[in-house]
Structure formats: structure tokens, C-alpha cells
Amino acid sequence: MKKIILIFAMIITVLITVSENYDARSVETLSYVIAIGLDKSESEKEELKLTIQIAKPDTSEGSGTKIKSEIATVDCNSFNLGLAILNLSNANELNLSHCTVIIISEELAKEGIESFIDTLANNIEIRPTCNILISKDSAEEFLSVTSEIEDISSKFYNSFVNSAKTISYTTPCQLSDFYSSLRDDVRAPRALYSFIHEDTIETLGLAAFKDYKMVGQLSGLDTLCYNILTNNFEEATIEVYNPQEPSIPLSVNLTHLEDTEIKVKFQDNIPKVTCNININAKILSGSKNYDYSTEESLRVIEAEIEKFLNQNIQNFLYKTSREYNSDIVGFEGFFRKNFLTQDELSKYDWNELYPKTEFNINSQTYLKSGFLFSKN
């Protein structure tokens, strides 16, 4: 009986403690940070400029459940110190558990992110699903623009980040994946690239990294190629030109068919990469004067699509290898399969080999719905 009473008393004590802790960190006492911005400081004494965007429920009459936001900025020498300073000036305790994006200015990214990325990745409040964005403009300007939006929350950032999954001209980049790439010696890091356009924010393309520094910007078309090679491709619309009517663009919808097959051979001390690509295609618009009903006409269009893919993927790969020396696709992992032991592999430095790599792209297109078109 005494044991039962003792156990009951312990349960009551635990419940009271948990209840007190909950009350101490209730919603009313917390300010939720939905975005973090990092810039190079203009101060000679501090290295960083930290900007946070805080969600503020609009309780005014007739506002419903709209969420507004405000930003706060401080110059500091470290992320943790800057956050502590902002905490002192904020009425409620800052909480990072709802942070959806970390915006880093291009200027700071090109100088290097080594001084703060470990701190961000190891912060227990910041979720590993938080996305990394590189902003052409300053992070402070970026957050100032988004703060003008009437109803903003973490869902706002999720909406344009998740749209990348369907358009394929950009791709999500979560903190866990970005940080893993920094530690992963077979794949270089990459992040979403964003910029201010008039009064809105746009995300298009990628920022390529070499270790802790941004080394180049990749276009939306480059990113489409990246998604195809890394099997993140879902769907995209492109324009090709019919040789018989070169002045009239042909809109074509591309969709995933099979995962890309990558092989890397090591011949004459040069890595030789072969990429076998299989894509579904569907004509969206064409010329009324062109007969799409014959096998020959469809093969001509397929050849043009394959030419488009081969050329652009080649350009993307030679840009990342020759110009940036940034293996964001992760070819080194395939290269390592050529060696049976670590001792054999250690004789070669991938950083020296990658800029010399030769690429062979084999695209196979399967044109669907073409017979819906007929000659007028």
C-alpha cells in the first residue's frame, strides 16, 4: 500500500512540474521567429548582421486570424551573441522552433559561412527541415519586403519553397541536407537562390558552394538539369524549335520516366562520366502547318528535345566542373567504385580531377499524345 501511495505522489509531483514548465513557456510569453537573416556587418567591430522576423498575431477588430510580422536587427560577432542581444530587447522570449528559412546574403556567402553554420545546424530549436536561401540582395532587405505582406507565417515560406518540387527550375534545400553536404566528401553543398523582384520575392536557380564558400550561381535551366541528374525531377515545360519551322517555338511538357543512370570510368587518368536519361514528353502547342500525325514528324521533335537536353546538361556540367569545381551532383561517389581499397583511392585527389572530367549525355525522349495532332 505504501508503494502505491509513493508512486501516486511521484506522479502528482511530475505532473505539477510539467505544468509549471508549460506555464513558464506558454504561447503568451514567447515570440516566434519565422525567418533568420544573416548579412556581413558594416561595423568594424562586429562581423555579422543578424536579422530576425517575428510573427505577430493581429488582434485588431475584424482582422480575423491574420498574422503580421516585424523584423529586428543587430550587429554581432556570433549568431548566439546576436540572438541573446535581441532577446534582451524583446518583451517575450524568442523561440526558433517555427523558423522556416535561413536567408544568407550572397555577399556573406561568397566570403564564407564557416563562422556560423555549425551553430545554426546544432541549435536544438531550429528544425533540420528549415530551408537555406541565398539572397542576391541583403537578408535584411529580403525580410523587410516579406514583412510588408499582410498575412505572413511560416506557411508563406513553405509555399514558395515547396513549389520548387513541381516546376523543377529550383529545388528545396533543407538545413540538414546542406550541413550534411558540408561534411560529405562526395557532394558539394548547394542552396536555393532568391532575389527581390519589385515588391515580391522570387526563388530561381541554385547557389553552388565549394566547402564553406559560394562559388557561383546556377540558372533555372541549370537547376532543371541538376534535378534530372539527381533524380529530383518531376515536371517542367521547355521550348524547342522545329527544324522545318525554326521561327515558331514549340512548347513541350517533360515528366519523369526513369531514374537517371550514372556511370563513372577512370581512363587515362581522367574521369569519364556517362549519364543515361529517359524522359516522357508531351507537345503542348505547335504550328497548324506542321503534320504531327506521322512517326517521322514525331521522331524529328523527339530529336530536338534530346538535343536540347544534351546541350544544356553538358553546359551545366562543364560550368560546375570547369568554372566552379563544385561537384554538387556527387559524381565522386560513383568515381570511388573504380577502386577496391582505400589505399588505391587515396592516390587521387578529386578536387584536381573533377575540372578535367569528360561528360557524355545520352537522352532518350518518349513523346506522348502526339497523335492528338493532325494535319489541317
Q: Quick one: CA torsion of 124, 136, 326, 363, rounded to 10 degrees?
A: 110
Residues 6+ apart with CB under 8 A from 160: 201, 203
* Structural domain includes residue 22: no
Nearest alpha-carbon partner for 181 in 172, 169, 173? 173
Residue numbers of the domain that contains 41: 29-218
Residue 151 lies in a domain: yes
46 and 62 both lie in a single domain: yes
5 in a domain, yes or no? no
The answer to whether residue 167 sits within a structural domain is yes
Strand, helix or coil for residue 18: helix
Q: How many domains is the chain built from? A: 2
Residue 70 shares a structural domain with residue 181: yes
In the listed set 197, 218, 239, which residue is the last one of a domain according to the structure? 218
Which of the residues in the chain have pLDDT under 50? 2-3, 5-25, 63, 370-372, 374-376
| CATH (domain of 281) | 3.30.300.210
**Confidence at residue 7, expressed as pLDDT on a 0 to 100 scale:** 46
Q: Is 305 part of a structural domain of the chain?
A: yes
**CA nearest to 49, candidates 82, 80, 71:** 82
The domain boundary, picked from 163, 186, 218, lies at: 218
- Phi, psi dihedrals of residue 46, rounded to the nearest 5°: -115, 150
Specify whether 203 is located in the same domain as 54: yes
pLDDT of residue 9: 44
Other Cβ atoms less than 10 A from the Cβ of 238: the count is 18
| E-only strand ranges, 12-47 | 30-40
What residues contact residue 363 under an 8 Å CB cut-off, 6+ apart?
277, 279, 305, 306, 309, 310, 313
Residue 130: its H or E element: none
Does 170 share its domain with 230? Answer: no
Domain boundary residue among 189, 218, 247? Answer: 218
Residues 166 and 274 in one domain: no
Candidates 207, 211, 36, 71; CA nearest to 136 is 207
